[in-house]
Amino acid sequence: MQVGRWNHQSSGGNSSSSSSGGSSRPYSPRPSTGGRSGSSYPARTGGYGASRGPARSGGSSYGGRPSFGGNRGRGPVKRGFGTFGETEAEIAKFMNRTVVTTEEPVFVPEHTFADFDINAKLKANILGRGYNEPTPIQDKSIPHALLGQDVVGLAETGTGKTAAFLIPLIDKVMKQKGERVLIMAPTRELAVQIEKELAGFAKGLGFRGMVAVGGANIGPQIQQLKHDPAFVIGTPGRLKDLMERRALELSGFGTVVLDEADRMLDMGFIDDMKMILAKMRKERHTLFFSATMSKEIERLVGAFLNQPVVISVKTQDTSRNVDQDVVRIPRGKDKFDVLAEMLKGSDFSRVLVFGRTKFGVEKLAKALSRLHIHAESIHGNKTYGARIRALEAFKSGKVSALVATDVAARGLDIPAVSHVINFDLPSTYEDYVHRIGRTGRGSLKGKALTFVQER
């Protein structure tokens, strides 16, 4: 774990260190993850699907529809430009069997939630939700946020980042009359999830928050903004739209959170983010959370944050709780057949299946449903309401398989996902890391399987 100060003079140099108690060391803007690199996993022949017997000839394409990946003897499958996992060295990164060899060091927080100097009613809500000891990112960042310092938090998915910024900012809103907070998130689902967390922590505290996302009727959002909610949580595109309609005036906002900032950059929101930040007060409180620290992220931090405390709790690329392997699909075999057979297994209780395209994801979910495998889909072409309903049905167990594009790869907290299946290869290793981070969360174990079509 590293706690340091950002050096504005050089985006690539080390800075002097600062710590909220405990040890610290000089921070490099590009810290080592400290875990095993993907390339260190030995490449193996075979894999999950190698010993499952001879391939059936042909395959099936349910209902006369095109097959889902069997090559039908037409020659090598083309995986698309830029697809990760085309070489054996890359495929080896999908194979990381979880073998416990040593006892994991137990994190001992410096604080409990009862220790923090926050409003008594807020503290009661936190404790009432079963929060007793903070996670590493919460333990290190909350004290700095409570002091009004800018914070850059580098942490893997599922580490409690949402509470790390909501708790100190709820306290700030309660103590500073008229304070307003803007929270930017990359996806509709994550924005809704943040608002739900906010509602739980702020129950009975006398203020409101609202969600501003695309795909939903903008009219009700405009009406909600007329009541000056203390928290506005939205995606950059919809926030920009509301600003252009003069429904959202940011000069009154003194605090901003950028959650999953690297994902927002990946989705092309950089110009919208810069425009939105430029419309806020120059003297503001900024909290910035990201899983990675790219050059573009460094530039954004240098331009919009004031001497932030940089906290890194990244330890490894992928969770040790996730058992990772490949499923090799022999030539002539349709990978849909393999997926359908898997999903009939009793241990595949709550499965997140990733595809690359919106059309392919929708088609796959419908094909599974025709086989009486309860499946729903999430992708950019679905309406906001339909995406939320699909997500809630998956969380509640009404459907056992959720087929999604990478829109569901980051930030979403879905309890007890038993398996993540990469039906289509991810574009990058980073995308792979975020996909499989949906399982094996907290103390739970999970499995990640990646389909690799033999050429």
Distance of alpha carbon 127 from alpha carbon 121, whole angstroms = 10
Give the span between the Cα atoms of 366 and 368, in whole angstroms. 5
pLDDT at 444: 78
Q: Which residue has the tokens 């080592």?
A: 32
Q: Which of 36, 48, 262 is nearest to 161 (CA)?
A: 262
What secondary structure, in 3-state letters, does the chain show? CEEEECCCCCCCCCECECCCCCCCCCECCCCCCCCCCHHHCCCCCCCCCCCCCCCCCCCCCCCCCCCCCCCCCCCCCCCCCCCCCCCHHHHHHHCECCCCCCCCCCCCCCCCHHHCCCCHHHHHHHHHCCCCCCCHHHHHHHHHHHCCCCEEEECCCCCCHHHHHHHHHHHHHHHCCCCCEEEECCCHHHHHHHHHHHHHHCCCCCCCEEEECCCCCHHHHHHHHCCCCCEEEECHHHHHHHHHCCCCCHHHCCEEEECCHHHHHHCCCHHHHHHHHHCCCCCCEEEEEECCCCHHHHHHHHHHCCCCEEEECCCCCCCCCEEEEEEEECCCCCHHHHHHHHHCCCCCCCEEEECCCHHHHHHHHHHHHHCCCCEEEECCCCCHHHHHHHHHHHHHCCCCEEEECHHHCCCCCCCCCCEEEECCCCCCHHHHHHHHCCCCCCCCCEEEEEEEECC
pLDDT by residue for the chain (455 residues), tens digit each? 666 665 544 333 333 333 333 333 333 333 333 333 333 323 333 343 433 333 333 333 333 344 554 443 333 333 433 567 777 777 777 776 543 333 445 667 788 898 899 999 999 999 998 888 899 999 999 999 999 999 999 887 678 899 999 999 999 999 998 999 999 999 888 899 999 999 999 999 999 899 999 988 999 999 999 999 999 999 999 999 999 999 999 998 999 999 988 888 878 888 999 999 999 988 899 999 987 777 888 888 888 899 999 998 865 555 678 889 999 998 888 999 999 999 998 899 999 999 999 999 999 999 999 999 999 999 888 887 888 889 889 988 899 999 999 877 776 777 789 999 999 998 888 788 888 888 887 677 889 999 998 87
For the chain, domains (ranges, CATH) are: 2-30+105-312 (3.40.50.300), 38-96+318-453 (3.40.50.300)
Tell which phi-psi region holds residue 22, choosing left (phi > 0), alpha (psi between -120 and 50) or beta.
left
From the list 189, 242, 233, 187, the residue with the least C-alpha distance to 210 is 233
Please report where in the chains the tokens 């901003």 appear, as a residue: 256
Q: What is the pLDDT of residue 23?
A: 32
Task: Look at residue 18 in the predicted model and tell me its pLDDT.
Answer: 36
Whole-number pLDDT of residue 198: 96
